[in-house]
């Protein structure tokens, strides 16, 4: 029973980065199993309870390990990340125009995660200049988020402008358009 609040604590929404594994379910599993045991739980002896607790604990550890591995694996396809970057950058621009500080902070946080993933991708591709471009945007997104959380949207404008201008630098060097109009990474 001790594990129920404990489980909830870990079910962060964006843990399935990179692999496509829905990590969320690994957290629900122990909760679901506790609920399944609930009716019979009074009739269990204390040592049986302990065994179940240990089992659930192992389950949780395995879930945590999978999560950490999933987070560390860089994406193998940058396209979905970039499409999300484009959509979120547009949204950020609109939210800045309408002075919606809470949404600006949320957009910046999302961009920070996306450019972290991009940095991981470029690192795996051994493109150090692109890693640096991406990391500069992680920094800018952090600055935007900080300013927005302090309700200082004027302070968010400079890093947001730099972030919006950064796309071309990297695309000019590392993005290539194929005859079918799709894009791919150019080493
Ligand atoms: C550090 C390098 C880098 C930065 C910075 C960067 N991009 Fe990209 N982007 C790429 C690469 C490489 C591709 C091609 C990869 C692919 O599409 O598979 C790409 C592709 C794209 C695509 C095409 C996606 C598709 O597959 O249709 C869009 C849209 C895009 N980027 C938007 C942006 C926007 C908007 C920004 C700035 C806010 C940005 N990118 C910043 C490297 C970068």
Residues 93, 28: one domain? no
Strand partners, 175: 185
d(C-alpha 11, C-alpha 36), whole Å: 19
Tokens of 85: 């970057």
Q: Tell me the residue range of the domain where 50 lies.
A: 2-71
Backbone angles phi, psi at 125, to 5 degrees: -85, 0
Residues 51, 109: one domain? no
Strand partners, 177: 183
Torsion sign across C-alpha atoms 109, 113, 114, 116: positive
Tokens of 154: 């004027």
Residues 102, 37: one domain? no
What is the whole-number distance in angstroms between the Cα of residue 171 and the centre of ligand 1? 6
Residues 106, 51: one domain? no
Query: Which SS3 state, helix, strand or coil, does residue 76 take?
Result: coil
Model pLDDT, residue 58: 86
- Span 38-46, average pLDDT: 69
Residues 85, 66: one domain? no
Residues 166, 103: one domain? yes
What is the whole-number distance in angstroms between the Cα of residue 144 and the centre of ligand 1? 20
Mutate-to-test residue for ligand 1 from 77, 82, 127, 177, highest number of ligand atoms within 8 A of CB: 82
What is the whole-number distance in angstroms between the Cα of residue 16 and the centre of ligand 1? 21
- Span 64-93, average pLDDT: 88
Residues 83, 174: one domain? yes
Residues 98, 52: one domain? no
Q: Answer whether 125 contacts ligand 1 (Cβ < 6 A).
A: no
Residue of the CA atom closest to atom 35 of ligand 1: 86
What is the whole-number distance in angstroms between the Cα of residue 80 and the centre of ligand 1? 9
pLDDT at 144 over 90: yes
In the 3-class helix/strand/coil scheme, how is 89-113 assigned residue by residue?
HHHHHHHHHCCCHHHHHHHHHHHHH
Q: Answer whether 174 contacts ligand 1 (Cβ < 6 A).
A: yes
Residues 178, 98: one domain? yes
Q: Answer whether 166 contacts ligand 1 (Cβ < 6 A).
A: yes
Of the residues 71, 101, 118, which one is the last residue of a structural domain? 71
Q: Answer whether 82 contacts ligand 1 (Cβ < 6 A).
A: yes
Model pLDDT, residue 68: 72
Average pLDDT of the residues of the chain: 84
Q: Mark 76-105 as b/e (b = at least 16 C-beta within 10 Å).
A: eebeebbeebeebbebbeebbeeebbebbb
We report the CATH number of the domain holding residue 162 as: 1.20.120.10
Residues 29, 113: one domain? no
Of the residues 17, 52, 71, which one is the last residue of a structural domain? 71
Model pLDDT, residue 5: 43
- Span 148-161, average pLDDT: 97
Q: Answer whether 85 contacts ligand 1 (Cβ < 6 A).
A: yes
Backbone angles phi, psi at 151, to 5 degrees: 60, 30
Residues 110, 22: one domain? no
What domain count does the chain have?
Answer: 2
- Span 43-71, average pLDDT: 80
Atom of ligand 1 nearest to the CA of 86: 35
Confidence label for 52 from pLDDT (cuts 50, 70 and 90): confident
Q: Which helix (H) or strand (E) holds 154?
A: helix 153-174
């Amino acid at each position: 029973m001790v594990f129920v609040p404990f489980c909830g604590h870990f079910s962060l929404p964006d843990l399935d980065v990179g692999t496509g594994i829905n990590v969320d379910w690994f957290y629900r599993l122990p909760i679901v199993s506790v609920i399944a045991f609930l009716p019979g739980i009074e009739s269990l002896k204390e040592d049986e309870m302990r065994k179940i607790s240990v089992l659930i604990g192992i389950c949780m550890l395995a879930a945590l390990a999978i999560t950490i591995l999933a987070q560390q694996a860089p994406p193998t396809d940058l396209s979905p990340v970039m499409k999300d970057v484009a959509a979120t950058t547009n949204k950020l621009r609109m939210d800045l125009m309408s002075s919606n500080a809470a949404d600006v902070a949320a957009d910046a946080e999302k961009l920070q995660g996306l450019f972290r993933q991009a940095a991981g991708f470029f690192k795996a591709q051994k493109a150090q200049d692109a890693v640096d471009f991406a990391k500069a945007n992680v920094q800018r997104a952090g600055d935007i988020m900080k300013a927005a959380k302090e309700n200082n949207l004027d302070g968010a404008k400079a890093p947001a402008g730099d972030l919006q201008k950064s796309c071309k630098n990297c695309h000019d060097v590392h993005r290539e358009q194929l005859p079918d109009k799709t894009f791919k990474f150019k080493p």
